[in-house]
Amino acid sequence: MSPDERWFPSHLREMDQAECLDLLAEHQVGRVAYCDDRGPVVFPVNYVVDQDTILIQISPHSNLAGRLRGAPASFELDEFDAYTETGWSVLVRGRASYVEHGDLPPDENRPHAWAEGQRTLHVRITPDDISGRRLLPA
């Protein structure tokens, strides 16, 4: 099915927060975003959902670490299918803060980083709001 063979575009439907949290809980990689002097920056990261917040694990010496200390941050997750031209996306807007060791979940519930590097700093994105949309078949 090529774009030219489609007569009807896909429909957009808003998701409620519970549906967004379910999708967040089922995945392992999303995108963290912050703003610097030149504008927005977006990077993929491994994450887990911990107490309805997004928990990520990064290098304490990274640019990311410098930008995520008590600052506005967002987290985006999505999935699309080019054949059916459908999918969904979730956006968590909130604030990032460093996590003290005592506030971390048990080892088995912490994020597992795929990439090499000393990722000893845990950062939590606490949502101000969570929104999402599904792109459904026409």
Q: Which of 17, 19, 43, 104 binds a second copy (CB under 8 A)?
A: 43
70 lines the binding site for a second copy (CB under 8 A): no
Buried b (16+ CB within 10 A) or exposed e, 15-29: beeebbbebbeeeee
Could you tell me the smallest distance in angstroms from the CB atom of residue 8 to a second copy? 8
Closest residue by Cα to residue 85 from 35, 123, 137, 45: 137
76 lines the binding site for a second copy (CB under 8 A): yes
Closest residue by Cα to residue 86 from 31, 4, 28, 12: 12
86 lines the binding site for a second copy (CB under 8 A): yes
CA distance 65 to 84: 38
Residues in contact with a second copy by the rule CB under 8 A = 3, 8-12, 28-29, 31, 33-35, 38-44, 71-74, 76, 78, 80, 82, 85-87, 89, 91, 93, 112-117, 128, 135, 138
